[in-house]
Structure 1
Amino acid sequence: MNRTQCTVAGLVWLSCLVAAVAAQPSPAPPDRPVEVAPGIFQIGYLTHPRLTECSGVVASRRHPGVFWVHTDGGGPKKQVLFAVRRTGQPIKEYRVVGAMLQDWEDIALDDAGRIYLADTGNNDAQRQQVAVYEVDEPDPNGFGSTVQINRTWPLRFPAKPLDCEALFVWQGYGYLIAKLSDDRRAELYRFALTNAGSVQLLEWVARLPITSPVTGADLSADGQRLAVVAKAGAWLFDINGDPARAGRAPWRRARFKDQRIEGCCFVQEGLLVTAETRQVYLFTDAAFGGHRP
């Protein structure tokens, strides 16, 4: 075989290999939980083809077994709210209408059936203003394929633009945790949910004992515990209903470094955590040194 024939044959072989890899189905959810680190189990895999970079997750309080997730980024193709099971299988999806999201990074909800979308990504600190949006939680067993934005909170950080990937809400306020690097401690800010529509200057609340870049957060339904995930793992804070206590409250850590975890939410057994790479994990009390999340 001459050089030209070898080159052609090699290209054909490479094309076939690429096609074969692309044709492989996404890994199925594990049949049973698989322990991947002490007290940390993989319990699922996000199988929807468009959930390529899951950035946020929250457990529905109205529809048992339903979790709301979304991808990182913005634009019409990415502003979609997905309902999935805890093992990652899709249930339904909804297109978010009423605004153009630029960099959707996290999701939260309240007891009144409202979902909050954190359009707060700011990787290059180019955005002088970020936003949080509110939609009504849809019924995954009902009709319809869109959710309408009801309220918007345009927001500015007090000193300079910051990147943010973590949101939770509590007692009339939305809370954002700035994503900082260079071993700087994470900072917690808040804004009033009553002042929708007008630009708010975020109010500094506390500095957290986390020097790893924060990628997600959730508050327990009773407001007693705050969970934060970052590049180096997960943290739990006993805040007793006061987010400002997170800067000085007792805390516990589960080490899980460089696994690209992005979102978290409380479940009965512990903390459910999603990764950009589609894995769904359960962090049990053993992951946090034997203390219940």
Structure 2
Amino acid sequence: MSRIFLLALGLTALVGSGCSQAQSDNAKESTDSPKSEKKGKKNKKGGKEKEVAAALEPVGELQGGVPESSGLAHGGRPGTFFTHGDAGREPILYLINEKGELLGQRELPVTNVDWESLSDDGKGTIFVVDAGNNNNSRKDLVVYRVKPDQPDKVSKINFRYADQTAFPPPKEERNFDCEASLWNAGKLYLFTKDRAQQTTSKVYTLSDQPGTHTAQLLTKLAVDGEVTDADLSPDGRHLALLGREKLYLFEGTDLASALKATPKTVSLKGAGQTEGVLFLDNGTLFISTEQGALYRYKL
């Protein structure tokens, strides 16, 4: 009797396990299939666009002693890019190609307190954003303006946030850490990394001219993570914000309307600590990681 009971129990467990596995496999197949991505953009409760998995194309790895990639900007020639290390690294802009091969480097006569982002104006000027602010307590925030072919001539854009009055503010208000920026139409746009709730990236505008300025709060974006970089497509219709293994895509007719759009969230799971993003054209992104991996992503 005992043996029969145990045998029956074992068969029940086996069947249950098989059913659970089948359900798991079916769920995975449903999640991974292209059809589910096309039909599942809205959930039953709030109509929010679901997170979709990215088809990242590995294209290279950092070489030649480049320590990491914490930001990206276009180089002087097509297919070349500037990148850099973050807090405490040498104040060097590394020129690489898409494969990650080192083509050259430019050392700037400044300190790398916490470089976190690069922007460029498309005319040869690079903006090095030294605004990493983990504790939200810095009062020496600065953007360095430089032409890489004249690395000894650096001008400073010193700034503060219009709405920050405490250094640091209470923990629930610590949203003054900037790791993402872009340049557009004569202005710098700074995107904060929400270290309090990880739900909101504040967007500030800042003069691109040397001097001491106040970064003005423009808007707040609802994103479920910490923003690590940003870029705008050449036609101005696509805004890409990068997070830790996530990508947030906003679409509009220009930057102003894109900032009002509901983003699509793309999973970059397995890519590594994604830190740099740059549009290669209107439909292709170049993405870098702190570990040195380089990817392409098609919109």
TM-score after normalising by structure 2? 0.73
Select 1:125's aligned residue among 119, 122, 136: 136
Give the CA deviation at 1:128. 1.9
Q: Please name the residue that 2:61 is paired with.
A: 45
Does the CA contact (< 8 Å) of 1:59 and 1:266 recur in 2? no
TM-score after normalising by structure 1? 0.74
Aligned-pair identity (%): 26
Task: Determine helix, strand or coil for the equivalent of 2:64.
Answer: coil
Alignment of 1:200-211 (within 5 A): 200-211=213-224
Select 2:273's aligned residue among 230, 239, 260: 260
1:83 aligns with 2:95: yes
1:136 aligns with 2:147: yes
Select 1:94's aligned residue among 106, 109, 114: 106
Give the CA deviation at 1:158. 2.2
Query: Aligned partner of 2:58: which letter?
Result: Q
Q: Please name the residue that 1:153 is paired with.
A: 157
Q: Distance in 1 between matches of 2:263 and 2:192?
A: 19
Q: Please name the residue that 1:107 is paired with.
A: 118
Does the CA contact (< 8 Å) of 1:185 and 1:210 recur in 2? yes
Give the CA deviation at 1:248. 1.9
Task: Determine helix, strand or coil for the equivalent of 1:113.
Answer: coil
Sort the Cα spacing of 1:149 and 1:102 in 2 relative to 1 into closer, same or farther, 3 A: farther
1:228 aligns with 2:241: yes
Does the CA contact (< 8 Å) of 1:209 and 1:247 recur in 2? no
Q: Write out per-residue CA displacement over residues 133-156 of structure 1, whole angstroms, 9 at most, x where no aligned residue.
A: 111133xxxxxxx61343211111
Q: Please name the residue that 2:74 is paired with.
A: 59
* Larger helix percent: 2
Give the CA deviation at 1:59. 2.5
Task: Determine helix, strand or coil for the equivalent of 1:168.
Answer: strand
Does the CA contact (< 8 Å) of 1:133 and 1:149 recur in 2? no
Does the CA contact (< 8 Å) of 1:69 and 1:81 recur in 2? yes
Does the CA contact (< 8 Å) of 1:85 and 1:91 recur in 2? yes
Q: Distance in 2 between matches of 1:219 and 1:96?
A: 26
Give the CA deviation at 1:185. 1.0
Does the CA contact (< 8 Å) of 1:107 and 1:168 recur in 2? yes
Does the CA contact (< 8 Å) of 1:82 and 1:90 recur in 2? yes
Which consecutive unaligned segments of at least 5 residues does structure 2 have?
1-52, 168-175
Q: Please name the residue that 2:177 is paired with.
A: 163
Task: Determine helix, strand or coil for the equivalent of 2:137.
Answer: coil
Give the CA deviation at 1:234. 0.8
Query: Aligned partner of 2:236: which letter?
Result: G
Q: Write out per-residue CA displacement over residues 12-31 of structure 1, whole angstroms, 9 at most, x where no aligned residue.
A: xxxxxxxxxxxxxxxxxxxx
Q: Distance in 2 between matches of 1:150 and 1:72?
A: 18
Q: Distance in 2 between matches of 1:100 and 1:121?
A: 13
Give the CA deviation at 1:266. 0.6
Q: Distance in 1 between matches of 2:127 and 2:93?
A: 11
Task: Determine helix, strand or coil for the equivalent of 1:128.
Answer: coil
Q: Please name the residue that 2:33 is paired with.
A: none
Q: Distance in 2 between matches of 1:95 and 1:108?
A: 17
Greater gyration radius: 2
Q: Write out per-residue CA displacement over residues 149-188 of structure 1, whole angstroms, 9 at most, x where no aligned residue.
A: 4321111112336111001111111110011032331111
Does the CA contact (< 8 Å) of 1:179 and 1:186 recur in 2? yes
Give the CA deviation at 1:232. 4.1
Query: Aligned partner of 1:117: which letter?
Result: V
Task: Count how many residue pairs are aligned between Structure 1 and Structure 2.
Answer: 234
1:190 aligns with 2:205: yes
Q: Distance in 2 between matches of 1:238 and 1:231?
A: 21
Which consecutive unaligned segments of at least 5 residues does structure 1 have?
1-36, 139-145, 286-293
Query: Aligned partner of 2:294: which letter?
Result: V
Q: CA RMSD in A?
A: 1.9
Q: Distance in 1 between matches of 2:253 and 2:141?
A: 29
Q: Write out per-residue CA displacement over residues 68-123 of structure 1, whole angstroms, 9 at most, x where no aligned residue.
A: 1111124xx511011101010110111112x3231110101112211110001011
Sort the Cα spacing of 1:73 and 1:183 in 2 relative to 1 into closer, same or farther, 3 A: closer
Does the CA contact (< 8 Å) of 1:47 and 1:88 recur in 2? yes
Query: Aligned partner of 2:208: which letter?
Result: L
Query: Aligned partner of 2:280: which letter?
Result: V
